[in-house]
Structure 1
Amino acid sequence: MLAARAFASGAVANNFFYVLTGFNGSSYEVGNDHFNGSVWASGAPIPVGHSQSKAAAVGNNIYVPGGYNSLQFGGPIDLMQIYNSTTNTWSNGMNLPGTRSGAAVAAFNGMVYIIGGFTLPFPTGTDTVYIYDPVANRYTTGAPMPAPAGNVPGALLGNEIFVVGGSNSATLAHYAYNPATNTWRTIAAPSPPDCQGGGAFALNGELWLFGCLGEPGMNVNIYNPGSDSWHAGPPLNVSQEGGSASGVYNTRGF
């Protein structure tokens, strides 16, 4: 990448893998780095820098809901920042119904799902499911997650959004959400079960989980939905924590 950062958001759009936002050790990143399979380039910076957000693409637009900015906002924020990868411009959607950081974010059938996350007073975990309609620029709510969690990785696999780990004083998330039926089910927990601030993506019919805080930094856990079980994946080349910017580009997971 062009700028080092942790707790960034990532998405694939317009045949690029994008890494947005994050924390560089002293300030919140506004950088917009994108990868075409061989080289990185920079795009228009995000208007409000922050960390601990996730992103999802609908068409050529990337949606970045919420995030954490203690310098300007005192913690979690409620912005919906939208990047048009065709015109290289940013706009704002309707603000989230509540402040959120560390939520799981995924797109399904043209909608953006914002699941769980921290709110104020920080770190208060939430169980909410906000569903953003980009066309109508409005939110509806889905069935709440069975337990609250923040800094929770999540990804769309098949027709379900899988939400795994996170942080809350009493509970951890190991669930799959079906947007079509608006229902949740419990899945097997990885070992260790408390993946915070990591990345997740779906590849070859399985869910990949990595970059978790407090775990051996090269660990990769892979979930097989057919057997409802986890197995170890190939270790990362470089140890990391907070590698939350993730996606699948040209059959490769990032």
Structure 2
Amino acid sequence: MKLPFLKRARTLAIPKCRVQTLSQTKMKTKTLNLGLVFIALTALMRASVHSTLAQGGVWTTKSPMTQPSLLAGAAVINGRMYVVGGNDGNGTTAAITEIYDPNTDAWSFGSPASIARAVMATGALNNKVYVAGGWQNSDANASTGALEIYDPVTDSWANGAPMSTPRGAMATAVIGGKLYAAGGYASYPYHAFHTLEIYDPLSNSWLTGAPMPNAVSFAGGAAINGKFYVAGGVSVNETPPTATLQIYDPVSDTWTTGAPMPTPNYGLAAGVIDGKMIVVSGDVSNVDIYDPILNFWAVGAPVPQPRLFMVAGVIGSQMFVTGGFTQSREISGALQVYMPDGSAATPAGENVSVSPGSWTTVTFTNVSTAGETAVTTTSSGPPPPAGFSLGDQPIYYDITTTALFTPPVTVCITYDPAQFIDPNNVSLLHYEIDTWVEVTPISNDTVAHVICGQVSSLSPFAVARRIFRFSGFLSPIGGADATGGSFANPLRTFKMNSTIPVKFTASSGASPVVTGVHTLQAIKYSNATTSGAPIDATPQDAATTGDQFRLVDGQWQFNLDTRATGMSVGIWLLRAMLSDGTQHSAWIQIK
């Protein structure tokens, strides 16, 4: 099967690629036009998987980019991520600078660069962002070697010495205060470069290093312990991607190879956390983690939204991934953040707080003997108790410690708001003696999405949501789901141009549900199996927001306006989507 390839002045279909989730260990206890460049993507073949070690880790979701893009450049300076240039997916290449501040979870704009380009080499040197090479207006035939330098303090751009070989789609890293750019390509029909160029800001000049043994473009690059690691990529038009890991040593000016990636891929984002290379693979959900000491690849938690041509930046022990081209062939501005599993030294003392990884914090009331606290995450484990759901992507947190401590212990877990739409409906579960126990929360920060609870021992934990007990739609509809009728036998008939009161009640445990965002959709069917696209229902009077139910006298109500755009005579399925993730429906007729 052929790899995605790039061509000029030609339009190609873009078939979907199949996502395959990697196995994890059991618990211990539309066509895209880039200026003159058109990208066609074919389904990726998965090669035989090398031996890997399950590593886990956890993803969460933050505020998206203001201007979604792909093929951009990114660098981190003083705890902020700078995203430069890229393409909006509609043939427009931007020169914009977007800046993400994790402290405020907000994006802002900096001054734009003078050159609109994509797939450039980007890195942070001396607290400035260096942007070199790339394709002007996203056209590989208009490659540039220009170097522009952004100063966040003055919010201004300056020029540096151009690259010797203009090209884009390079692997990039910063080592010893110098910018390394390897591989890439410059025109169609493309053939990747072996070239390695090194920029020295002190002399404002480019040096040439030993050529790469395997020419690649769209590879992932990272620096670990003074060496340049180049993973994956593609070399020649219409050939499969490679799994090769190439390693450059600046001291000896030589290349060697490491253990190959578990999955050949390209269009990668890469970064380094705790001395390991984190590679977020392009068009599949893989996260591969390379340990240079062991020369071994581990498997991380799969990325929730696989994307090609995204960018990444590491801030602390977290990897921020944004932009890119989704499997549904849409440009994404989503910002997703990965934190791997890990461990933390736990000293003796009182009120000892440690963060071992995977968005967890453990606070010990008293530690008598120091030790190590660790967290291991996995997607498989004991099923949740009745009445609870772990979300679309379950995560189990196995927290252990070798420290000797006196209870209680406070465990805090940051959960993904994309998995738990209603933060008020979040619970912390603790697996004790082969049974899940709901921990009474001592806090639930619904803005930062952190839930905390006190326990007397450490073992697996999970964040869950309560499943509501749904009463069914109240009169005049009078039923739902199993009692919600069918296409052939709708529950009720209403007149066109009338208002249909859609009402329900629900409970969580012994308490009525009085919070959350619950919405209504209407889907018209032409027969029992053929339907039109769901439309967001329109209320006859003011709802909280658009298609949302509102709480009136203990009942959730929506006055459906049949005169609204899209409504017509026929058989309709009304679908209520509750904030616990469940959906409930009933059939009606409008005539």
**How far has the Cα of 1:18 moved from its partner?**
0.8
Deviations 1:23-44 (A, max 9, x none): 1112112221111212111101
CA distance in 2, matches of 1:177, 1:99: 21
> What TM-score does the superposition give when structure 2 sets the normalisation length?
0.41
1:151 paired with 2:218, answer yes
Alpha-carbon distance change, 147 to 58 in structure 1, aligned in 2, over 3 angstroms: same
Alpha-carbon distance change, 122 to 67 in structure 1, aligned in 2, over 3 angstroms: farther
- What's the secondary structure of 1:74's corresponding residue? helix
Corresponding residue of 1:181: 252
Corresponding residue of 1:104: 171
Give the AA of the match of 1:128: T
Q: How does 1:53-64 map to 2 (within 5 A)?
A: 53-64=120-131
- What's the secondary structure of 1:106's corresponding residue? strand
- 1:29 pairs with 61, 74, 94, which one? 94
CA distance in 2, matches of 1:70, 1:30: 9
Q: How does 1:167-178 map to 2 (within 5 A)?
A: 167-169=234-236, 172=242, 173-178=244-249
Give the AA of the match of 2:93: Y
Give the AA of the match of 2:253: N
- What's the secondary structure of 2:121's corresponding residue? coil
Give the AA of the match of 2:100: F
1:140 paired with 2:207, answer yes
**How far has the Cα of 1:122 moved from its partner?**
4.8
- What's the secondary structure of 2:173's corresponding residue? strand
**How far has the Cα of 1:149 moved from its partner?**
1.0
Corresponding residue of 1:9: 73
Any stretches of 5+ residues in structure 1 without a counterpart?
none
CA distance in 2, matches of 1:127, 1:18: 28
Corresponding residue of 2:143: 76
- What's the secondary structure of 1:24's corresponding residue? coil
Moved more, 167-176 or 68-77: 68-77
**How far has the Cα of 1:71 moved from its partner?**
6.3
Moved more, 62-71 or 154-163: 62-71
Alpha-carbon distance change, 96 to 140 in structure 1, aligned in 2, over 3 angstroms: same
Corresponding residue of 1:119: 186
Alpha-carbon distance change, 8 to 211 in structure 1, aligned in 2, over 3 angstroms: farther
Higher Rg of the two aligned structures:
2
CA distance in 1, matches of 2:219, 2:306: 20
**How far has the Cα of 1:67 moved from its partner?**
1.0
Corresponding residue of 1:209: 279
CA distance in 1, matches of 2:138, 2:229: 32
CA distance in 2, matches of 1:110, 1:138: 13
**How far has the Cα of 1:153 moved from its partner?**
1.2
- The 8 Å contact of residues 184 and 217 in structure 2, kept in 1 or not, is answered as yes
CA distance in 2, matches of 1:114, 1:144: 11
**How far has the Cα of 1:238 moved from its partner?**
2.1
**How far has the Cα of 1:163 moved from its partner?**
0.2
Corresponding residue of 2:316: 250
CA distance in 2, matches of 1:248, 1:84: 19
Give the AA of the match of 2:268: G
Alpha-carbon distance change, 166 to 104 in structure 1, aligned in 2, over 3 angstroms: same
**How far has the Cα of 1:74 moved from its partner?**
3.0
Alpha-carbon distance change, 190 to 71 in structure 1, aligned in 2, over 3 angstroms: closer
Q: How does 1:218-233 map to 2 (within 5 A)?
A: 218-233=285-300
- What's the secondary structure of 1:55's corresponding residue? strand
- What's the secondary structure of 1:118's corresponding residue? coil
CA distance in 1, matches of 2:151, 2:167: 22
Any stretches of 5+ residues in structure 2 without a counterpart?
1-64, 321-591
- The 8 Å contact of residues 141 and 186 in structure 2, kept in 1 or not, is answered as no
Give the AA of the match of 2:317: T
1:163 paired with 2:163, answer no
Deviations 1:170-204 (A, max 9, x none): 784421111122121101111222x2221100111
Deviations 1:147-179 (A, max 9, x none): 211112101112111001111127844211111
1:197 paired with 2:262, answer no
**How far has the Cα of 1:119 moved from its partner?**
2.3
Q: Which has the higher strand share?
A: 2
Count of paired positions: 249
> What TM-score does the superposition give when structure 1 sets the normalisation length?
0.91
- The 8 Å contact of residues 77 and 128 in structure 2, kept in 1 or not, is answered as yes
Give the AA of the match of 2:77: A
- The 8 Å contact of residues 289 and 299 in structure 2, kept in 1 or not, is answered as yes
CA distance in 2, matches of 1:142, 1:186: 16
Give the AA of the match of 1:203: I
Deviations 1:178-231 (A, max 9, x none): 1122121101111222x222110011121111141xx32x22111111221212
Give the AA of the match of 2:261: P
- What's the secondary structure of 2:211's corresponding residue? coil
Give the AA of the match of 1:57: A
Corresponding residue of 2:348: none
- The 8 Å contact of residues 118 and 138 in structure 2, kept in 1 or not, is answered as no
Give the AA of the match of 2:319: G
